[in-house]
Amino acid sequence: MARKNTYDALRLLLENLNQSQISMTFSEIEKVIGRELPPVAYTRNQWWENNSNRHPQAKAWLNAGWRVSHLLLGEQVTFTKTSRSSHNPPDHDGASQGNQPEK
């Protein structure tokens, strides 16, 4: 039996959305995953990087065909649907912070 990822519920939510972008508060994400986000999610931009090699949480949104496109650290994250398939997630491209351009 495969081990369930903490972020599978987030992946499923994103996979089933019929819109191209969604902003979620950290509290809303916690309700979806059924637990609190780790403290580092509130304090470090790197936790939200679009890098599935280093971050299991990123694997969830990347495999669903989404990426983090905007971050208000400790408050809200915006996910944007990618043009890539869920079988070919994008490489690390970082998440923008506030009005800064994406990395």
* pLDDT tens digits along 16-55: 999 999 999 999 999 999 999 999 999 999 999 999 998 9
Phi, psi (rounded to 5 degrees) for 98: 60, -125
* pLDDT higher than 60, residue 96: no
Burial category of 76 from C-beta neighbours within 10 Å (exposed 0-12, middle 13-18, buried 19 and up)? middle
What is the dihedral sign for C-alpha 35, 99, 19, 79? Answer: negative
What secondary structure letter does DSSP report for 73?
A: T
Q: What's the pLDDT score for residue 100?
A: 34
| Domain boundaries, given as residue ranges, for the chain | 8-81
Closest CA to 73 of 30, 103, 40: 40
Helix (H, G, I), strand (E, B) or coil at 103: coil
Claim: this prediction has a pTM higher than 0.85: no
Average pLDDT (89-97) is 44
More confident residue, 66 or 54: 66
Q: What's the pLDDT score for residue 83?
A: 76
Closest CA to 80 of 30, 14, 28: 14
What secondary structure letter does DSSP report for 97?
A: B
